[in-house]
Structure 1
């Protein structure tokens, strides 16, 4: 089976490759050397082979994409208010690419950069990127490795980074999930469970106020599984202001997944495991005008707190020389079948929980 294929080229002539993981049955993936983009992820559902993430057809479409479909996000995932921060007494101005604010690493963040392929096998892909001092305004040279590993029904992504000067680093991953594999089936009809008792309220530009709010009695309470369309309350001021879900859920911590997602249509279920402290939930509503006809997907992005450098009460996102940054995001799939009770879905996902030994 071909492991690498051309995915087209960019306007400047750069050739982009799609790199395959998996053998064609069970779970399989295609990842681009442009942005480390997860362009295809397929699993077996009730209707057969099912694409579970939204994707585009060619390299230039991904480069031009305003929705960040499938990318590796960095240096800083989510928003930095005023596109500026202070680090060790020095002010740094980063690219303002969302109004006067900074989003997902800037105008040419990690998702629009070409990554070097260090290793590519049937079950493993290692990508490397060197972000130079001053790129998008960030201080210090940063060396990043992103390792994708696929075993059985699990796809794991590991970030590793070092720097030569203090800098910010808060990477995440940005696939859009619709486990139905059918754009006519609303992504909001998926069942979602997240162990998060608090969330971060935001202002009209989606910048956190810097406080944590209790999810109880709000549309942000997914401690018990429910669908997004049922959970959403059109009268909720946070949802009205954001146009839907685009909020950071603060994870309770402890053992177990940081999210479970299930499509009653395809019968496919997903669990996400990570060591990140928070999970950004985005309902994909901007896709209606960014990519008409593509449908919606749900983003579940394990990460640090947004706008952390400007919010003293938040955990910082500072990486310093001599320290190795590591973050793990793992996707595990199961097929409990269509229209199952949540207890059956949870049991199927528990059975496909992470096994660190298979990734040694």
Structure 2
């Protein structure tokens, strides 16, 4: 309940540019005395989040581009796409071999990464301008985005109507709610691909920031980052973040067979799913900023920015090198359409896809 001495968050709209003949807008969500979130209707991108440190000084704690041109250029298939802050769909993460069988029919989807389908293909949800409407409540403000993906989009069956809502409340919680329906059987797996750096965007790498994951196992992968075998217990591996651990503490000493490479890009099997539950916490000890993630999803893809490079110039005008940010992507498991033992991502007519993830920013 909102206290009588708090001021409700606000939302405003700004023109951000054009993609062809289509206007792109930025929606500014402000919690007075707290955080400010900027969202684009292009791809549902979270462009920036200004959050105060323990001294009250704000900094942008997510990676992004300063203008629309940066996002448009990076959305090209050969641009080394990084998906800064975007809604990912139709299928977040990877589908092995860019194909799956549903109800006895083989569906071939866009092979846009080493013969696999990554994040829904080259023309995924992140590349489209969504329809948008703003709203205010007693203790929150937000923007609601909607998009219709036609049957056959990137090879996926069914016409999917999707809705994503961003809601900022007086407790500095950004809640992202997803809803979708289909007119034919399909698979669906949506997530947010925000990169975080709690010390401030462009300030350096995130390897000293502390991470806790409420997960007792993870999905081992092959060299193409497709899950293999059963989930593996995290105990005794570089994947054990059950207690607060520096992100970079074990990367260089990892067994090459774990395909850790220059960092993490793996799915953790969360201890709880189905109901909104604590999943992860990150903490920058110097600034005091802390990020807590809760979700309804069964998995969390932790990515430590392994493929970022100084060719990417961020909102601050500084380059993003490897490890400049990390992503905590609440979702179903990679390659689930090809794994009957994984939680199902099948959506059928008459069913409603729902997901909720909450990002809460505090100072400690």
Instruction: Output one character per residue of 1:47-83: Cα deviation in whole Å (capped at 9) or x when no partner.
Output: 5011111110112311332100000010100000111
Query: Is 2:221 the counterpart of 1:193?
Result: no
Deviation at 1:24, TM superposition (A): 5.1
Query: Residues 9 and 60 of structure 1 are in contact (CA less than 8 Å); yes or no, is this contact kept in structure 2?
Result: no
Deviation at 1:277, TM superposition (A): 0.2
What is residue 45 of structure 1 aligned with on the other side? 53
Point out the more displaced range, 122-131 or 104-113: 122-131
Indicate which of 41, 52, 56 corresponds to 1:33: 41
Deviation at 1:15, TM superposition (A): 2.3
What is residue 150 of structure 2 aligned with on the other side? 132
What is residue 160 of structure 1 aligned with on the other side? 179
What is residue 347 of structure 1 aligned with on the other side? none
What is residue 178 of structure 1 aligned with on the other side? 197
Query: Is 2:326 the counterpart of 1:298?
Result: yes
What is residue 283 of structure 1 aligned with on the other side? 304
TM-score of the aligned structures, taking structure 1 as reference length: 0.89
Instruction: Output one character per residue of 1:224-277: Cα deviation in whole Å (capped at 9) or x when no partner.
Output: 111111132434225555431000000011775100000112110010000000
Report the structure, 1 or 2, having the larger strand content.
2
Gaps of at least 5 residues in structure 2 are 1-9, 75-80, 314-318
Q: Residues 1-360 of structure 1: matches in 2 within 5 Å?
A: 3-10=12-19, 12-23=20-31, 25-46=33-54, 48-65=57-74, 66-121=81-136, 123-152=141-170, 153-238=172-257, 240=259, 242-253=261-272, 256-288=277-309, 291=312, 293-295=319-321, 296-336=324-364
- CA–CA distance in structure 2, aligned partners of residues 290 and 84 of structure 1: 32
Query: Residues 146 and 159 of structure 1 are in contact (CA less than 8 Å); yes or no, is this contact kept in structure 2?
Result: yes
Query: Residues 296 and 355 of structure 2 are in contact (CA less than 8 Å); yes or no, is this contact kept in structure 1?
Result: yes
- CA–CA distance in structure 2, aligned partners of residues 69 and 238 of structure 1: 29
Deviation at 1:182, TM superposition (A): 4.7
- CA–CA distance in structure 2, aligned partners of residues 133 and 119 of structure 1: 28
Instruction: Output one character per residue of 1:155-206: Cα deviation in whole Å (capped at 9) or x when no partner.
Output: 0000001111000101011000000015333211110000111000111111
Query: Residues 11 and 30 of structure 2 are in contact (CA less than 8 Å); yes or no, is this contact kept in structure 1?
Result: no
Gaps of at least 5 residues in structure 1 are 337-360
3-state SS of 2:175 partner: strand
> Relative to 1, partners in 2 of residues 1:273 and 1:23: Cα closer, same or farther, differing over 3 Å?
closer
Query: Residues 201 and 238 of structure 1 are in contact (CA less than 8 Å); yes or no, is this contact kept in structure 2?
Result: no
What is residue 354 of structure 1 aligned with on the other side? none
Point out the more displaced range, 40-49 or 263-272: 40-49
What is residue 5 of structure 2 aligned with on the other side? none
TM-score of the aligned structures, taking structure 2 as reference length: 0.88
Instruction: Output one character per residue of 1:301-338: Cα deviation in whole Å (capped at 9) or x when no partner.
Output: 010010001112111200011111100010111111xx
- CA–CA distance in structure 1, aligned partners of residues 161 and 257 of structure 2: 37
- CA–CA distance in structure 2, aligned partners of residues 23 and 68 of structure 1: 26
- CA–CA distance in structure 1, aligned partners of residues 83 and 258 of structure 2: 21
